[in-house]
Amino acid sequence: MSDNSPNSADNSRNIEGVPPGRLLAIDLGAKRVGIAISDELRITVTTLERLERRSWKDLLRRVAAIVETYDARALIIGLPLNLDGTKGEAAAEAARIAENFRKSLGVPVFLQDERLTSRAAESEMRARGLKPEEISRRVDSESAAIILRDFIVQTGMSPAVREDSSSVIDAN
């Protein structure tokens, strides 16, 4: 990629080859990984139990098992851009992991801008009246759900919605 902008021409997404069906999203954290899955029509998104992050091999094994269990057709990984949209160390690490998943899984892998998703998830759960300990337990997967909903909307992969896909970056 030629620059640090999530909207550079090098970052356009090739979503045409993604077959219909479920999409899986992950929100990578240093210690935990949030997980969310769409339904087959990509209308609803459901959170799954977060994963504790151990090693690359363990993460790959568990994500591959989820892809197989749900017959996910693509993997979307949150891209933690800086607030100004540039790529820092965390974004570089997410891109590296996305490339490793692309090489290891039999599904397309995409990166999705995840700026402020954790804050949005926390805010949504507070508004629903969840207790702080419940918010803490669920925030990673709720963030993955926001990442997945944003991806579906911005790429027009939902049959009901078509929007701009400028914050979606192809990891392939």
Distant-in-sequence, close-in-space partners of 105: CB < 8 Å, separation ≥ 6: 60, 63, 64, 67, 75
Give a yes or no: residue 149 inside a domain: yes
Alpha carbon of 166 to those of 8, 103, 144: distances in Å?
Answer: 9, 24, 19
Q: What is the pTM of this model?
A: 0.80
Q: Which domain holds residue 166?
A: 20-170
- Dist. CA 152–CA 156, nearest whole Å: 6
pLDDT single digits (tens) 73-86: 999 999 998 888 88
3-class secondary-structure state, position 114: coil
pLDDT single digits (tens) 129-171: 878 887 777 778 889 999 999 999 888 877 654 333 334 444 4
Give a yes or no: residue 12 inside a domain: no
Give a yes or no: residue 48 inside a domain: yes
Give a yes or no: residue 8 inside a domain: no
Contact 27, 102 (CB under 8 A): no
**pLDDT, greater one: 116 or 62:** 62
Amino acid at 169: I
Give a yes or no: residue 9 inside a domain: no
Give a yes or no: residue 95 inside a domain: yes
Give a yes or no: residue 114 inside a domain: yes
Max Cα–Cα distance, the chain, nearest Å: 44
pLDDT single digits (tens) 92-139: 999 999 999 999 998 999 999 887 777 777 778 778 887 888 777 777
Residue 53: give its domain's CATH number: 3.30.420.140
- Distance between first and last Cα of the chain: 12
pLDDT score of 128: 83
Q: 76 - beta bridge partners? A: 25, 110
Alpha carbon of 146 to those of 37, 103, 114: distances in Å?
Answer: 11, 25, 8
- Dist. CA 57–CA 34, nearest whole Å: 17
Q: In what order do the strands lie in the sheet with 32-38?
A: 45-52, 32-38, 23-28, 74-79, 109-113, 168-170
pLDDT score of 8: 28
Q: How many domains does the chain have?
A: 1
Give a yes or no: residue 122 inside a domain: yes
